[in-house]
Amino acid sequence: MKRKYFLAILIINFLAIILLTGCGNGIVTPPVDNEVVYRALVIGVGDYVGSVNDLPGPDHNADRMHQILSQCRFSLAGIEFSIINELKNLGATKKAILEGIASTFSGAENDDISYFYFAGHGYRWSGTSYLCPADFTSVSLLSSLISVDELESALSAIPGTKVVILDTCRSGGFIGKSKKGLTSFNDEVISVFFQSQSKGLLATNQYKVLTSCHDYQMCYGTQPVVDEPPLGVFTKALCEGCGYNYNYLADTNEDTKVSLQEAYIYVKNWVQYCFGDLQDVQVYPDDSSYPIVEY
C-alpha cells in the first residue's frame, strides 16, 4: 500500500514538472513579446573651433530635448528610452558624431525606434545640405562637414524607424524641401521611382523628420531671460508642445500622444507667429499620425 502511494506521488510530481516546463502533448509556454527599444543621440554645437562661428543656443537646446525625451513613456507598457546619449560643443566633432550614431544605435532591430537630434550651424552648397560639426574648417570646408548623403548613409544602416529633428539653417534640404524644388512628400506616392529620386535624402518610409526651415532659410533664436537660457525658436516651440513643464500643448486630440503632424502644426504656427515667413518649419512625411512623443 505504501509503495502504491509512493508511486502515485511520483507520477503526480512528474506530470507537474511536464506542465510547468511546457513539455509534452504540445503544451508550450507563451513567448514574451520583444519590447521595442528606444534610443536617442542628442547633439548641440554652440562652441565651435575658434570663436567666430559660436552660437548661444544649441547646447541649451540639447539639454531641453534630452529632458523631453527622458519624460517619454511609450505604449501601455510605459517604455522609456534605454539610451539618450549627448554630444555637445567641442565634443561634437565630425568623427564623434558619425561614431556616436554607430555606437548609440548599435544592436537596433527592425521594430526599434532611433532618435537623432542636431542643433547647430547648417550649410548648403551646390544643391547639397550639410551639418556643421564643431571642428569644421574653411580650409577643407566641404570634407569637414557632414553632408546629407553621409548622414543618410549612417542612419539608413540602422534597422527600424528613425525620428530625425534638425534645428539648423537650411535644414529643409535634408528632406528635399526647397523654394523651387520638391515641396511635399506623401506616403501614398512612395514608389520605386520615388525611392530612387530620394536616395541621399532623409525622405523614405523609414524616416519621420522635422526640420526648422526650408533649404534656403536661416533659423532664429530667443533672447535669454530670467531663468531661461537662449534657445532656438524651433526647439523651444517643439519642447513646449511636447512636454516642457509637463504641458503637452501639441497633443490637440488629448490621446496622450504627440504625433508628427501635431508637433509640426504646433511648431510651425509658433514659429510663424514669431518670425512670419522668415522661418518656415518643414516635415516629412505630411499628415503623419506617427507618435514621436507619448506620456
56-90 burial string, b = 16+ CB within 10 Å, else e?
bbbbbbbebbbebbebbebeeeebebebbbbbbbe
Q: What's the confidence (pLDDT) of residue 177?
A: 83
Q: What's the confidence (pLDDT) of residue 10?
A: 45
Determine the Cα angle at 119 with ends 113 and 122, to 5°.
Answer: 115
Q: What's the confidence (pLDDT) of residue 179?
A: 59
Question: What structural domains and CATH numbers belong to the chain?
Answer: 1-31 (no CATH), 38-294 (3.40.50.1460)
Q: What's the confidence (pLDDT) of residue 4?
A: 43
Q: What's the confidence (pLDDT) of residue 129?
A: 97
- What's the pTM? 0.84
Q: What's the confidence (pLDDT) of residue 226?
A: 86
Alpha carbons 113 and 277: distance in angstroms, whole number:
32
The amino acid sitting at 262 is E
Q: What's the confidence (pLDDT) of residue 28?
A: 40
pLDDT mean values, one per 10 residues, the chain (295 residues): 45 42 40 78 97 94 98 97 98 98 98 98 97 96 97 98 98 84 39 43 96 97 90 98 96 98 98 95 98 98
Q: What's the confidence (pLDDT) of residue 22?
A: 41
Q: What's the confidence (pLDDT) of residue 227?
A: 85
Q: What's the confidence (pLDDT) of residue 289?
A: 98
